[in-house]
Amino acid sequence: MTEPLLAVDGVVRSFGGIRALSGVSFTRSSAGICGLIGPNGAGKTTLFDAISGRIAVDAGSVCFAGEELLPLPAHRRVTRGVVRTFQECRIFGEKTCLENLLFALQRKGLAGALKRMMAGDRGAERLAMEECGHYLALVGLADYATAPAAMLSYGQKRLLEIASALLMRPRLLLLDEPAAGVNPALLETLHDFLLRIRRETEILILIVEHNMQFIMSLADHIVVMHQGSVLEEGAPAQIQASSRVIEAYLG
């Protein structure tokens, strides 16, 4: 039997007397896009924090590509290919869009190449610039390469943040509400960009999202959380037709 790419098994996390995660379990066997949905307070972001190493858990296991992640600190998980974004957009506003992407390369451990670039290695400089330029073009920000990131709209900042995350060569990419606050035109750009990443890479993308139209048209598989546990999972059409899911959302 093939080992799943991601296996979340019995994850528990309490904050004082409040149990945010109550034995969360699900698996994903291969690359693709998996939506993580549920009402506010269902535990979605807490689960992201547990997978990425931002918080410790009280019990359970998270295995990625056959390796147990929970003993590893957050920075070690990044080296294993686990990269995330946050609900609040995190970019360097005073830096240019290009500088934001170059920093992402450095975080991934390519500092040696960047040092060669700074030392005048034209080959290293050309490769780094080409790669960053490629990602800026993919998210429609090529014309803003030398502009301070603070000048971007909120939606453009989201796109820059996701491009930066992808430059870190993730194998598991956790996107926390990427569609929040993004206008319809940029939302279409984001949607098409993520579909392209799904087609062209072997990345598993796990997305927390409240925009149901966006995630249902994007994901291969949906995991529904409710009150800290998995209520149901399946294909988008199955989830949309589920009476249990409808009841959880509408009360």
Better-scored residue on pLDDT, 129 or 121: 129
Better-scored residue on pLDDT, 88 or 222: 222
Sequence-distant (6+) residues with CB within 8 A of 156 are 140, 141, 144, 186
Q: What is the pTM of this model?
A: 0.88
Residues of the chain with pLDDT > 90: what percent?
67
Q: Residue 128: what pLDDT?
A: 76
The domain ranges of the chain are 1-81+170-251, 91-169
Question: What is the architecture of the domain spanning 1-81+170-251?
Answer: 3-Layer(aba) Sandwich (3.40)
Mean pLDDT of the chain: 89
Which pLDDT band, with edges at 50, 70 and 90, does 110 fall under?
very low
